[in-house]
Every structure is written in C-alpha cells, then in structure tokens.
Amino acid sequence: MRLSVREFEALARDRLPRYAYDFFAGGADDEVTLRANENAFTRLSLVPRVLRGHRERDLGTTLLGARIAVPVVLSPTAFHRLAHPEGERATARAAAAAGTVMIASMASTVPVGDIAKAGGDDLVLWLQIYVQPDARITRELVGRAEDAGCRALVVTVDSPVFGRRERDHRNGFHDLPPGMYCENMRDLGGQRGVRDIEMVAGLSWDHVDELAAMTGLPIVLKGLMHPADAVTAVAHGVSGLVVSNHGGRQLDTAAATIDVLAGVASAVGVPVLVDGGIRRGTDVVKALALGAAAVGIGRPVLWGLAARGGEGVSEVLALLREEIDRALALTGCASVHEVTSDLVREARC
C-alpha cells in the first residue's frame, strides 16, 4: 500500500524509460512555473473550524449536470500508452470506478470511442481539443466526441504555439515509439493515416464562436489565467473554465494557478476548475476555498498508471479521496460546499 501520491511518482521514475518519465514530468524552459505550481500551495495555510459535530462528510458535487463522487477530475494528459500498454483504457476504467470525470486528451494513444467503451456507462467523459487550422478537421473531431458520448468539449486556449520543453530535446524525444499514435488524429479530412496536431498562432474568440456553432455540447475553456479573459469567455457563452498554465509546460514564469484562481472564480458565475501542482487532499480543500468547483490532476494519474496500471490510478484517486475527507473533517466541513474562503489564508514568512 502506498501512503502518498509522491510514492507513485518514485515508482514511475524507476519503471519508465528516461525519455517517457521526462516527457510526463518536465516543463518549459527553466521549469520555474512547474515548481511554482506546487510551491504555491505551501504558502497557503488552512484555518480550521471546530466543534461542528459532523459524523460523515459528503465529497460529491455536480459539474455541468453530472454528479461526481469527489471534486477531483482527471485533467487531459497525452500518450498514456507510454506509461502502460493499456493506456487510456485503463485510466477510463479507474475514473469510472471512482465516479468522476475523465477529460481525454486529443493526443490520446487510444481513440475517444474506445476510451468511452472501456469506461462504460459509469464514465463521465469529456474530450479536450486544440482547434485546428482546418475547420473541417475540428468539426470531425467534434463529431467523434459526440459519437463517443462525451458530455463536454474542453478547448485548450493557452497554446497558440508549442512551449519549449528542454528535457524532450535533450532526450531526443520527438516521436512516439513504433506502433503508438495519436489515435484521435487518424483518418481525418478524407485522408488515411495519422495527422499531426497543429497549433493555431492566430487563435481568437472567433474560433470559440465557430466551435460553439458546430456542437450543442457544453464548451469549457482550459488555460485561462486572467479575470478579464474569464469575463470575455462567459460573454461568448462558455459553460465552464479551467484555470491552468498547462502544468508549467507552455509559458515559463507564468503565475502558479492557485495564485490566480480566486480572481478568476470571483469574476464569473460559471464553474471554475483549477489544475497544476495538486498533490494532497489539503491542496484540494485550499482550491475549493478559493473558489474552485473541483480540481484536475494530471501527473499523479500518469504516475499511478506507470506504477500499477489502472489499479495504480484507482489507488491515487482513493488516496486523494481519503485525504480530502480527512481534511474536511479537520476543518469542520460536512461537505465540499461548506468550504469557504475564510478557511484559508496566505502564510506569513
């Protein structure tokens, strides 16, 4: 039995080839933001309430109409088959068993339809996409998400160009191993084979409007950090936001996500999620106190997958669930909805 998420990271480091571990673990440039995401949580202190007499806690909440058992969703991460042969299929089964949302990556090594089948009826599945330069390709991807039963589209908006990840360049990791592909990019636009994912340097609000016109699915924008952008997003009809800096993999020296969460959450009336650096149940409670409806985890899922396949992902989620439940009990909260801003403050040096 593992006692913390960090123990799964150590197992993953031991079991993965160097290039694969570094791909999952690495960030952009000097990895300042990568470190800041985690360090920012240590600057926040919890201020517990006592003598409230709650025998049990309710960890459940609702996101875009779906009831989930815990306020932790699986953020989109690429190439799960680098971590384990079953890849995203194993991750989907673990997410379904935990009763939470899996946001499948556009860069999955298993097609979204097969992810949905692996998770079964209990899986709440969303698909993350990058808007493509050719609108026909984007439209086909949206159609595949709809056919798979996805309940939302999560549009990554912090990547008009790729960040530079020096670990990947140092390791010479530029292509997936033989037999492994970005399966969602297969056979699109009337062409056989697997297309590359392309970034759109001119990405704008017009693209969000065009995407909304393609589908009736709720649209969530992932990668916003500024309250003004959040307000604009709501004006364009989006249903939710994910405060994210791409796990420190895009713009280095960008602010830690937890540091900007409250400003975004207070500016809008739609559900706001946050990811980046969440390693403990107390981190989750801090995020809830600052306005998050739920949090996303990325690397911990991959560590669990690399360590023990789908069982490892389940163990990571179970660990976090136990820690959240304990943190709620110790802060005097009967449910995640009782976590309020007065329960957290910035620690003084």
Report the helix count and the strand count for the chain, using DSSP H and E: 12, 12
Show which residues are catalytic.
246
| Strand pairing category for 124-129 and 101-104 | parallel
CA 250 – CA 81 distance, rounded (Å): 23
Sign of CA dihedral 25, 252, 126, 181: negative
Q: Is 275 flagged in the annotation as binding?
A: yes
191 belongs to an annotated ligand binding site? no
Report whether 76 belongs to an annotated binding site. Answer: yes
Residue pair 223/158 in contact (Cβ under 8 Å)? The answer is: yes
246 carries a ligand binding annotation: yes
Those residues whose C-beta lies under 8 Å from the C-beta of residue 332, and which sit 6 or more positions away, are 48, 49, 50, 51, 52, 54
Residue 105 known to bind ligand: yes
Question: Position of tokens 């909304």?
Answer: 212
Residue 196's SS3 state is coil
How would you label 16-38 residue by residue, b for 16+ Cβ within 10 Å and e otherwise? beebbbbbbbbbbbebebbebbb
Which residue numbers belong to the known binding site for glyoxylate? Answer: 165, 246, 249
Which residue numbers belong to the known binding site for FMN? Answer: 76-78, 105, 128, 130, 156, 222, 244, 275-279, 298-299
Which residue numbers belong to the known binding site? Answer: 76-78, 105, 128, 130, 156, 165, 222, 244, 246, 249, 275-279, 298-299
